[in-house]
């Protein structure tokens, strides 16, 4: 077999979640086999297929495509070298940290900005930062993208860190360093169906684990909001959950499901939390990583969408409310979105079918007459699928 006709399986890195596979366009039968595999997915930008990374799936792929496989090593991401900063750069980093803390930025933002700024300080350690031009800064950002392939998210964090230094520490005008940012991607949130939600929750046997996942879904919470809930934030008489100091340091209320309230009462009697609603084994707040691990196990056990994360429960909450006809403004308030445009993204993932939307074609009588004159021919699923392709 020619090299360009072989199927390439990329050996996954130790912590990779999926196995990437390249299937040449000409190999239609082999591609159809892959489509039928559980957890199969196509990545259009990479022109690669993938499947969940397990030893069983690795062996299965080699068995299915025996004699047609070319195994290649996955390319490792180039790591940005870490270099010890000089005293001047350390002082700059400390000044930025102090200023961000004084402005009450969240700990994660402070750490993220300081970490992102280190390569910038290292790169320009022999220069006076106040004398750098906008073009020199953009050249550095371009260098990080082209050499180290940093993601759009990392690029934005780097730019934010640089701007934070110039604006908050040096007191420059915001307009002075309007650094070029990546074009914002328009992506649709990942959504779970209500059947998948049901399967995930049913697969969790531990009462505490099931309660925290059900609470996140039923109230549309972020994981950070769930672990910061206090016992007193559950207002059973008024029927709401109080979320204090959410994103943007804004308080809000969300709906308290009667079904969730019943489960919360069972949970309270079993665990008797004293201050935080969900406490760790040694007291204090329950960790986000523990919830993420619980959710991953539940997804695998229930055979649900492998791309789902804990945050997918929040996306699903919003979408399912809109599917039930809830006013967009109410959903916006429940999610704590400042702008309705943020909430409107969920309208793009609503189920579209002839059951809930009527095509304008259906209202043209003349077209109906044309259809009635079309000879009746048997139509099976194979023909319908052929039309889709």
What are the residues facing 240 on neighbouring strands?
235, 255
Residues 157 and 270 in one domain: no
pLDDT for 245:
85
In a domain, 181, yes or no: no
Residues 252 and 117 in one domain: no
Q: Which of 153, 169, 185 is the last residue of a domain?
A: 169
- pLDDT (tens digit, 9 = 90+) per residue, 100-129? 999 988 888 999 999 999 999 999 999 999
In a domain, 338, yes or no: yes
Instruction: Provide mean pLDDT across the span 250-259.
Output: 93
Catalytic residue among 53, 99, 168, 337: 337
- Separate counts of helices (H) and strands (E) for the chain: 16, 8
Catalytic residue among 33, 97, 172, 247: 247
Residues 271 and 228 in one domain: yes
- CA pair distance 220, 255, nearest whole angstrom: 9
Catalytic residue among 222, 252, 315, 320: 222
Instruction: Provide mean pLDDT across the span 71-90.
Output: 83
Strand arrangement of the beta sheet that strand 234-235 belongs to: 234-235, 240-243, 252-255
pLDDT for 174:
74
Residues 108 and 209 in one domain: no
Mean pLDDT, all residues of the chain: 85
Residues 156 and 210 in one domain: no
Q: Judge whether 83 counts as a catalytic residue.
A: no
User: How many domains does the chain fold into?
Assistant: 3
Residues 199 and 340 in one domain: yes
Range of the domain at 240: 194-349
125-139, 193-207, 347-361, range with the lowest pLDDT: 347-361
pLDDT for 236:
93
In a domain, 370, yes or no: no
Inform me whether the pLDDT recorded for 149 exceeds 90: no
In a domain, 127, yes or no: yes
- Helical segments of 223-287, H only: 223-227, 258-271
In a domain, 273, yes or no: yes
Q: Judge whether 22 counts as a catalytic residue.
A: no
Catalytic residue among 210, 314, 315, 320: 314
Residues 230 and 339 in one domain: yes
Which CATH number fits the domain that encloses residue 268? 1.10.443.10
Q: Which residue has the higher pLDDT, 380 or 86?
A: 86
Q: Judge whether 385 counts as a catalytic residue.
A: no
Q: Judge whether 337 counts as a catalytic residue.
A: yes
- CA pair distance 103, 97, nearest whole angstrom: 10
- CA pair distance 189, 84, nearest whole angstrom: 39
In a domain, 361, yes or no: no
pLDDT for 304:
87
Instruction: Output phi, psi for 22, to 5 deg.
Output: -105, 125
**Is the entire prediction scored with pTM above 0.85?**
no
In this prediction, residue 295 has a pLDDT band, given cuts at 50, 70 and 90, of: very high
Q: Token match 């665990």: residue?
A: 271
Instruction: Provide mean pLDDT across the span 285-309.
Output: 91
- pLDDT (tens digit, 9 = 90+) per residue, 191-241? 899 999 999 999 999 999 999 999 999 999 999 999 999 999 999 999 999
Q: Judge whether 232 counts as a catalytic residue.
A: no
Residues 288 and 155 in one domain: no
pLDDT for 388:
39
Q: Which of 45, 73, 101 is the last residue of a domain?
A: 73
Written as one string, the DSSP assignment of 132-162 is --HHHHHHHHHHHHHHH---HHHHHHHHHHH
Q: Judge whether 18 counts as a catalytic residue.
A: no
């Amino acid at each position: 077999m020619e090299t360009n006709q072989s199927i390439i399986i990329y050996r996954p890195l130790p912590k990779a979640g999926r196995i990437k596979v390249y299937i040449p366009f000409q190999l239609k039968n082999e591609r159809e086999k892959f489509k039928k595999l559980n957890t199969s997915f196509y990545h259009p930008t990479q022109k690669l297929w993938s499947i969940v990374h397990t030893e069983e799936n690795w062996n299965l792929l080699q068995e299915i495509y025996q004699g047609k496989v070319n195994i290649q090593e996955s390319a490792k991401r180039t790591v940005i070298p870490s270099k010890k900063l000089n005293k001047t750069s350390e002082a700059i980093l400390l000044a930025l940290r102090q200023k961000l803390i004084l402005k009450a930025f969240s700990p994660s933002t402070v750490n993220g900005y300081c970490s992102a700024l280190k390569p910038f300080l290292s790169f320009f350690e022999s220069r006076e930062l106040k004398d750098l031009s906008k073009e020199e800064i953009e050249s550095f950002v371009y260098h990080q993208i082209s050499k180290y392939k940093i993601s759009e998210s990392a690029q934005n964090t780097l730019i934010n860190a640089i701007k934070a230094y110039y604006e908050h520490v040096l007191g420059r005008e915001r307009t002075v360093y309007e650094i070029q940012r990546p074009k914002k991607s328009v992506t649709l949130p990942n959504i779970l169906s209500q059947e998948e939600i049901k399967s995930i929750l049913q697969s969790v046997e531990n009462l505490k684990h099931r309660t925290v996942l059900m609470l996140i879904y039923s109230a549309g919470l972020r994981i950070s909001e769930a672990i910061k809930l206090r016992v007193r934030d559950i207002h059973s008489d008024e029927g709401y959950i109080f979320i204090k100091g959410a994103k943007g340091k804004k308080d809000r209320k969300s709906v308290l499901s009667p079904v969730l309230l019943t489960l919360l009462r069972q949970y309270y009697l079993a665990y008797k939390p004293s201050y935080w609603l969900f406490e760790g084994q040694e007291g204090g707040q329950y960790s986000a990583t523990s919830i993420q691990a619980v959710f991953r196990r539940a997804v695998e056990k229930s055979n649900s969408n492998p791309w789902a994360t804990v945050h997918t429960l929040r996306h699903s909450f919003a979408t399912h409310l809109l599917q039930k006809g809830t006013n967009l403004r109410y959903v916006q308030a429940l999610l704590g979105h400042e702008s309705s445009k943020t909430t409107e993204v969920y309208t793009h993932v609503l189920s579209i079918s002839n059951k809930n939307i009527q095509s304008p074609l259906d209202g043209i009588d003349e077209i109906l007459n044309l259809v009635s004159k079309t000879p009746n021919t048997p139509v099976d699923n194979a023909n319908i699928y052929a039309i889709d392709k």
